[in-house]
Structure 1
Protein backbone atom coordinates (compact mmCIF):
# COMPACT_ATOMS: atom_id res chain seq x y z
CA UNK A 1 0.00 0.00 0.00
CA UNK A 2 2.87 2.34 0.79
CA UNK A 3 4.40 1.64 -2.65
CA UNK A 4 1.07 2.30 -4.36
CA UNK A 5 0.64 5.65 -2.60
CA UNK A 6 4.20 6.58 -3.52
CA UNK A 7 3.61 5.66 -7.18
CA UNK A 8 0.48 7.81 -7.26
CA UNK A 9 2.45 10.67 -5.66
CA UNK A 10 -0.14 10.96 -2.90
CA UNK A 11 2.17 13.07 -0.74
CA UNK A 12 2.16 15.80 -3.41
CA UNK A 13 -1.56 15.71 -4.28
CA UNK A 14 -3.06 15.13 -0.79
CA UNK A 15 -6.26 13.71 -2.30
CA UNK A 16 -9.26 12.82 -0.18
CA UNK A 17 -9.80 9.07 0.10
CA UNK A 18 -13.18 7.34 0.22
CA UNK A 19 -13.06 3.59 0.27
CA UNK A 20 -14.26 0.45 1.84
CA UNK A 21 -13.97 0.37 5.65
CA UNK A 22 -11.38 -2.40 5.50
CA UNK A 23 -9.20 -0.34 3.15
CA UNK A 24 -9.49 2.71 5.39
CA UNK A 25 -8.39 0.60 8.36
CA UNK A 26 -5.34 -0.61 6.42
CA UNK A 27 -4.41 2.94 5.42
CA UNK A 28 -4.68 4.03 9.05
CA UNK A 29 -2.48 1.16 10.26
CA UNK A 30 -5.08 -0.87 12.13
CA UNK A 31 -4.62 -4.59 12.64
CA UNK A 32 -6.73 -6.75 10.31
CA UNK A 33 -8.99 -9.56 11.41
CA UNK A 34 -11.12 -9.99 14.51
CA UNK A 35 -9.71 -7.43 16.91
CA UNK A 36 -10.91 -5.83 20.12
CA UNK A 37 -10.89 -2.24 18.76
CA UNK A 38 -11.64 -2.46 14.98
CA UNK A 39 -13.18 1.01 14.58
CA UNK A 40 -10.94 3.78 13.27
CA UNK A 41 -13.26 6.47 14.67
CA UNK A 42 -13.81 5.31 18.24
CA UNK A 43 -12.67 2.73 20.78
CA UNK A 44 -15.68 0.46 20.28
CA UNK A 45 -15.05 -2.83 22.10
CA UNK A 46 -16.13 -5.63 19.75
CA UNK A 47 -15.92 -8.22 22.53
CA UNK A 48 -18.27 -6.42 24.95
CA UNK A 49 -21.43 -8.19 23.75
CA UNK A 50 -23.40 -7.09 26.82
CA UNK A 51 -22.90 -3.41 25.93
CA UNK A 52 -23.72 -3.63 22.20
CA UNK A 53 -26.98 -1.83 21.33
CA UNK A 54 -27.15 -0.43 24.89
CA UNK A 55 -24.04 1.75 25.18
CA UNK A 56 -24.59 4.70 22.87
CA UNK A 57 -21.37 6.64 23.22
CA UNK A 58 -17.88 5.12 22.96
CA UNK A 59 -14.67 7.03 23.60
CA UNK A 60 -13.32 8.69 20.44
CA UNK A 61 -10.02 7.45 19.03
CA UNK A 62 -7.58 10.30 19.58
CA UNK A 63 -4.35 8.81 18.26
CA UNK A 64 -2.94 6.10 16.02
CA UNK A 65 0.02 5.02 18.16
CA UNK A 66 1.53 1.72 16.90
CA UNK A 67 1.18 -1.04 19.50
CA UNK A 68 -1.76 0.63 21.28
CA UNK A 69 -5.47 -0.23 20.81
CA UNK A 70 -4.95 -2.49 17.77
CA UNK A 71 -2.85 0.02 15.81
CA UNK A 72 -0.16 -2.09 14.18
CA UNK A 73 1.58 0.39 11.85
CA UNK A 74 1.97 4.14 11.45
CA UNK A 75 -0.82 5.55 9.31
CA UNK A 76 -0.11 6.08 5.61
CA UNK A 77 -2.53 8.94 5.00
CA UNK A 78 -3.65 11.80 7.20
CA UNK A 79 -6.91 10.81 8.97
CA UNK A 80 -8.29 14.24 8.05
CA UNK A 81 -8.16 13.19 4.35
CA UNK A 82 -10.47 10.21 4.88
CA UNK A 83 -14.09 10.45 3.73
CA UNK A 84 -16.54 7.93 5.17
CA UNK A 85 -18.20 5.62 2.60
CA UNK A 86 -21.91 6.56 2.50
CA UNK A 87 -23.24 3.19 1.28
CA UNK A 88 -21.48 1.28 4.07
CA UNK A 89 -22.88 3.71 6.60
CA UNK A 90 -26.41 3.43 5.22
CA UNK A 91 -26.38 -0.37 5.17
CA UNK A 92 -24.76 -0.52 8.61
CA UNK A 93 -27.35 1.80 10.10
CA UNK A 94 -30.20 -0.20 8.58
CA UNK A 95 -28.70 -3.43 9.89
CA UNK A 96 -28.29 -2.05 13.42
CA UNK A 97 -31.75 -0.49 13.32
CA UNK A 98 -33.48 -3.75 12.42
CA UNK A 99 -31.46 -5.73 14.97
CA UNK A 100 -32.62 -3.37 17.71
CA UNK A 101 -36.30 -3.55 16.71
CA UNK A 102 -38.89 -5.58 18.58
CA UNK A 103 -39.36 -8.56 16.25
CA UNK A 104 -43.07 -8.84 17.09
CA UNK A 105 -43.78 -5.10 16.95
CA UNK A 106 -45.62 -3.10 14.28
CA UNK A 107 -42.43 -1.56 12.82
CA UNK A 108 -40.95 -4.97 12.06
CA UNK A 109 -44.26 -6.07 10.50
CA UNK A 110 -44.17 -2.93 8.33
CA UNK A 111 -40.65 -3.82 7.09
CA UNK A 112 -41.84 -7.34 6.28
CA UNK A 113 -44.69 -5.86 4.24
CA UNK A 114 -42.41 -3.35 2.42
CA UNK A 115 -39.73 -5.97 1.60
CA UNK A 116 -41.77 -9.09 0.74
CA UNK A 117 -38.95 -10.78 -1.22
CA UNK A 118 -36.53 -10.75 1.73
CA UNK A 119 -36.85 -13.81 3.92
CA UNK A 120 -37.76 -13.34 7.57
CA UNK A 121 -34.36 -14.70 8.63
CA UNK A 122 -32.52 -12.09 6.53
CA UNK A 123 -34.80 -9.35 7.79
CA UNK A 124 -34.20 -10.36 11.43
CA UNK A 125 -30.44 -10.29 10.76
CA UNK A 126 -30.71 -6.87 9.11
CA UNK A 127 -29.52 -8.04 5.68
CA UNK A 128 -30.91 -5.75 2.97
CA UNK A 129 -28.41 -6.49 0.19
CA UNK A 130 -27.06 -9.46 -1.71
CA UNK A 131 -28.85 -12.37 -3.41
Structure 2
Protein backbone atom coordinates (compact mmCIF):
# COMPACT_ATOMS: atom_id res chain seq x y z
CA UNK A 1 0.00 0.00 0.00
CA UNK A 2 1.35 3.41 -0.95
CA UNK A 3 1.80 6.15 1.64
CA UNK A 4 -1.13 8.60 1.68
CA UNK A 5 -0.89 11.06 -1.18
CA UNK A 6 1.72 9.01 -3.05
CA UNK A 7 0.49 6.83 -5.87
CA UNK A 8 2.25 3.51 -6.25
CA UNK A 9 4.34 2.90 -9.33
CA UNK A 10 3.59 0.13 -11.81
CA UNK A 11 5.79 -2.31 -9.90
CA UNK A 12 4.63 -1.35 -6.40
CA UNK A 13 5.29 1.37 -3.85
CA UNK A 14 8.82 2.75 -4.01
CA UNK A 15 8.96 3.43 -0.27
CA UNK A 16 7.74 -0.06 0.66
CA UNK A 17 10.33 -1.52 -1.69
CA UNK A 18 13.15 0.47 -0.07
CA UNK A 19 11.89 -0.21 3.45
CA UNK A 20 11.86 -3.95 2.77
CA UNK A 21 15.36 -4.00 1.26
CA UNK A 22 16.71 -1.81 4.04
CA UNK A 23 16.21 -4.77 6.40
CA UNK A 24 18.98 -6.57 4.51
CA UNK A 25 21.30 -3.65 3.70
CA UNK A 26 23.95 -4.66 6.25
CA UNK A 27 24.26 -8.26 5.14
CA UNK A 28 27.58 -9.07 3.49
CA UNK A 29 25.90 -10.83 0.57
CA UNK A 30 23.84 -7.73 -0.31
CA UNK A 31 25.28 -4.90 -2.37
CA UNK A 32 23.37 -1.73 -3.14
CA UNK A 33 24.21 0.70 -5.88
CA UNK A 34 22.21 3.63 -7.16
CA UNK A 35 21.68 4.82 -10.70
CA UNK A 36 23.26 8.09 -9.67
CA UNK A 37 26.44 6.28 -8.59
CA UNK A 38 26.59 4.50 -11.93
CA UNK A 39 26.08 7.77 -13.81
CA UNK A 40 28.75 9.56 -11.74
CA UNK A 41 31.43 6.96 -12.46
CA UNK A 42 30.43 4.00 -14.67
CA UNK A 43 33.86 2.34 -14.57
CA UNK A 44 34.00 2.45 -10.77
CA UNK A 45 30.46 1.08 -10.57
CA UNK A 46 31.34 -1.87 -12.83
CA UNK A 47 34.55 -2.53 -10.84
CA UNK A 48 32.58 -2.45 -7.59
CA UNK A 49 29.98 -4.89 -8.90
CA UNK A 50 32.62 -7.22 -10.37
CA UNK A 51 34.58 -7.20 -7.12
CA UNK A 52 31.42 -7.95 -5.13
CA UNK A 53 30.81 -11.03 -7.28
CA UNK A 54 34.48 -12.02 -7.29
CA UNK A 55 34.85 -11.52 -11.04
CA UNK A 56 38.28 -10.30 -12.11
CA UNK A 57 38.20 -7.92 -15.09
CA UNK A 58 40.99 -6.75 -17.35
CA UNK A 59 40.92 -3.09 -18.35
CA UNK A 60 39.69 -4.18 -21.79
CA UNK A 61 36.85 -6.23 -20.29
CA UNK A 62 35.97 -3.39 -17.95
CA UNK A 63 35.69 -0.92 -20.82
CA UNK A 64 33.61 -3.39 -22.85
CA UNK A 65 31.13 -3.78 -19.98
CA UNK A 66 30.99 -0.01 -19.43
CA UNK A 67 30.32 0.57 -23.13
CA UNK A 68 27.67 -2.14 -23.42
CA UNK A 69 25.93 -1.03 -20.24
CA UNK A 70 25.74 2.63 -21.20
CA UNK A 71 22.25 4.05 -21.44
CA UNK A 72 22.67 4.67 -25.16
CA UNK A 73 23.78 1.08 -25.85
CA UNK A 74 21.05 -0.45 -23.71
CA UNK A 75 18.34 1.77 -25.22
CA UNK A 76 19.51 0.87 -28.71
CA UNK A 77 18.86 -2.82 -27.96
CA UNK A 78 15.90 -2.30 -25.64
CA UNK A 79 13.13 -3.44 -27.96
CA UNK A 80 14.78 -6.87 -28.15
CA UNK A 81 15.59 -7.03 -24.45
CA UNK A 82 12.61 -5.33 -22.79
CA UNK A 83 9.73 -5.52 -25.28
CA UNK A 84 6.68 -3.48 -24.33
CA UNK A 85 8.41 -1.86 -21.34
CA UNK A 86 10.87 0.13 -23.49
CA UNK A 87 9.16 3.51 -23.11
CA UNK A 88 8.73 3.02 -19.35
CA UNK A 89 12.28 1.89 -18.59
CA UNK A 90 14.31 3.84 -21.14
CA UNK A 91 13.35 7.50 -21.11
CA UNK A 92 16.30 9.92 -21.17
CA UNK A 93 19.01 8.29 -19.09
CA UNK A 94 19.73 11.38 -17.05
CA UNK A 95 19.58 12.12 -13.35
CA UNK A 96 16.95 14.55 -12.07
CA UNK A 97 14.56 14.70 -15.02
CA UNK A 98 11.68 14.09 -12.61
CA UNK A 99 11.90 17.82 -11.84
CA UNK A 100 10.41 18.43 -15.29
CA UNK A 101 7.47 16.14 -14.56
CA UNK A 102 6.44 16.64 -10.92
CA UNK A 103 4.23 19.45 -9.69
CA UNK A 104 5.16 21.40 -6.56
CA UNK A 105 2.49 19.47 -4.64
CA UNK A 106 3.95 16.14 -5.82
CA UNK A 107 7.44 17.26 -4.78
CA UNK A 108 6.19 18.12 -1.30
CA UNK A 109 4.42 14.76 -0.95
CA UNK A 110 7.53 12.88 -2.06
CA UNK A 111 9.73 14.81 0.37
CA UNK A 112 7.30 14.09 3.21
CA UNK A 113 6.99 10.39 2.34
CA UNK A 114 10.77 10.06 2.11
CA UNK A 115 11.23 11.67 5.51
CA UNK A 116 8.55 9.49 7.09
CA UNK A 117 9.61 6.16 5.63
CA UNK A 118 13.31 5.95 4.79
CA UNK A 119 15.24 9.16 5.54
CA UNK A 120 17.05 7.76 8.58
CA UNK A 121 17.80 4.36 7.10
CA UNK A 122 21.00 3.09 5.49
CA UNK A 123 19.38 3.02 2.06
CA UNK A 124 17.85 6.41 2.65
CA UNK A 125 21.32 7.85 3.24
CA UNK A 126 22.72 6.05 0.19
CA UNK A 127 20.11 7.70 -2.02
CA UNK A 128 21.54 11.16 -1.23
CA UNK A 129 17.99 12.46 -1.34
CA UNK A 130 18.94 16.06 -0.62
CA UNK A 131 21.38 16.09 -3.55
CA UNK A 132 19.40 14.18 -6.17
CA UNK A 133 15.77 14.19 -5.17
CA UNK A 134 14.79 17.17 -3.08
CA UNK A 135 13.19 19.89 -5.18
The question of a shared fold, defined as TM-score above 0.5 by the shorter chain, is answered with no
Please classify the TM superposition score into its range, dividing by the shorter chain length.
under 0.3
Higher relative contact order structure (alpha carbons within 8 Å, sequence separation ≥ 6): 2
Q: Which has the larger radius of gyration?
A: 1
